[in-house]
Amino acid sequence: MTEVHNLGVDAISCHAWNKDRKEVAICPNNNEIQVYKRTSSGWKLLQNLQEHDMHVMGIDWAPNTNRIVTCSADKNAYVWTQEGDGKWNPAWVLLRINRAATCVKWSPLENKFAVGSGGRVIAVCYFVSENNWWQCKHIKRPLRSTVTTVDWHPDNKVLVAGSTDYKVRIFSAFISDMEDAPGNGPWGHSNTLGTLLAEFQNTPNGGGWIHSVAFSPCGNKICWVAHNSSICIADATKGNAVIRLYTEHLPFLSCVWMGSNSIVAVGHSCMPMLYSIDDHGQLYFVSKLDNTQKKEAAGLSAMRKFQSLDRQARTDTNDNALDSIHQNTINCVRKVSDNEFSTSGLDGQLVVWDLKLLENSIAGLKIS
């Protein structure tokens, strides 16, 4: 069943899970990070992480090394490590940026992470044991605007980024100081950090800001969503061919792959949407995943309800609730397991969705 969790906050701007999904870190839309643990009686607040001076823009939790990385509009990033007493202690990251840090993501091997910024820079950060600190190297060209989103290729050496100039770019993120030279990959390879491997315009004529990018599990495809209500996929195995779908929904803010051919996108429509790629390589809309839209109020369908109001000459239903679980914009989606994903939004709710159960309850829904 769908799990709906209310952690007692007005809004959640982003969230991240630990490895066994028994703990979650959230940002309640301010400069704090709250870490909760699931107990038999509900969620227990373990610690308030208070180091940032301004709004927290991104959180990521490395499952194997059990480290949390956060970034903020205060131009800083911190790596949080849990000590023996259970307390989280921050280590400052030397980002060397002059604008807000906008997004952050651990690499698959968890030995480095990438931070996007409003300074037209991506900082690729790694730990230097000799100095006992986190330092970074910058990717700058050809970035010309704020970097809004980043994601890592499964090989740990390639990075995709989206920005407000309506473009998605794939870069080499190889750090020669700490890893072996990259081999041949679907997007090409380079021994130089920041080498541009591919570049995509959101639409032929421009389009909206890129809000989210994601590599497919195999790394051969990327998906991105933008502010013009579009969802696009580029495939390296087909000469970097791009599939574009312009939707009728409000703009999406986040997306995640659920399998090799299925994508969940969320945003201003307040419902998760499922998209899939068919056998001919075409992208199509499958279903809204929030089946509460089928509910009837007090046993009446929407049509019968409004007919009743019309007969009684009333115009006010006194019901401002949306016909969905989330009551405001969903701005973050995370993969929880092969069949589960979680969403958080500006209504303060954290929701875990089970695709297999949704497949049984929504006619025609197929997950692949």
Q: What is the CATH number of the domain that holds 166?
A: 2.130.10.10
Mean pLDDT of 235-251: 95
Q: Is residue 187 part of a domain?
A: yes
pLDDT of 274 above 80:
yes
Q: Is residue 318 part of a domain?
A: no
pLDDT at 61: 98
How far apart CA 97 and CA 103 sit, in angstroms, is: 13
pLDDT of 299 strictly over 80:
no
Among 148-157, 235-244, 301-310, 333-342, the minimum mean pLDDT is found in: 301-310
What is the Cα–Cα distance from 42 to 60, expressed in whole angstroms?
A: 23
The residue-averaged pLDDT of 268-286 equals 94
- On whether residue 158 sits in a domain, the answer given is yes
Note whether residue 247 is domain-resident: yes
Q: Are 211 and 225 in contact (CB under 8 A)?
A: yes
Distance CA 226, CA 146 (A): 14
pLDDT tops 60 at residue 265: yes
Query: What pLDDT does 294 receive?
Result: 47
Residue 339 belongs to a domain: no
The better pLDDT of the pair 322, 266 is held by 266
Task: Tell me the two tokens of residue 4.
Answer: 């709906």
The count of structural domains within the chain is: 1
- Of all residues in the chain, the percent with pLDDT exceeding 90 is 78
The pLDDT value recorded for residue 298 is 39
pLDDT at 214 over 90: yes
Does the pLDDT value for residue 239 go beyond 80?
yes
**For residue 148, is pLDDT > 70?**
yes
**Predicted local confidence at residue 181, as pLDDT:** 84
For position 296, what pLDDT does the model report?
A: 42
So what's the pLDDT on residue 178?
Answer: 86
Sort strands 262-267 and 273-277 into parallel, antiparallel or unpaired: antiparallel
Exposure string (b/e) for 163-197, b if CB count within 10 Å is 16 or more? bbbbbbbbbbbbbeeebeebeebbbbbbeebbbeb
124 lies in some domain: yes
Q: Pick the residue with more confidence: 318 or 80?
A: 80
**Domain enclosing residue 258, as ranges:** 6-285
Cα-based distances in Å from 165 to 118, 148, 203: 12, 10, 11
The mean pLDDT of 223-245, rounded to a whole number, is: 96
In a domain, 351, yes or no: no
Q: How confident is the model at residue 308 (pLDDT cuts 50, 70, 90)?
A: low
The span from the first CA to the last CA of the chain, in angstroms, equals 20
Average per-residue pLDDT in the chain? 90
List the 23-27 sheet strands across, edge first. 14-17, 23-27, 33-39, 42-49
Q: What is the pLDDT of residues 10-28, one digit of tens each?
A: 999 999 999 999 999 999 9
Contacts 24+ apart (CB under 8 A), 34-37: 34/7, 34/9, 35/68, 35/88, 36/7
Mean pLDDT along residues 85-114: 96
Q: How confident is the model at residue 129 (pLDDT cuts 50, 70, 90)?
A: confident
Domain assignment present for residue 89? The answer is yes
Mean pLDDT of 112-118: 98
The pLDDT assigned to 51 comes to 96
Mean pLDDT, residues 50-61 = 97
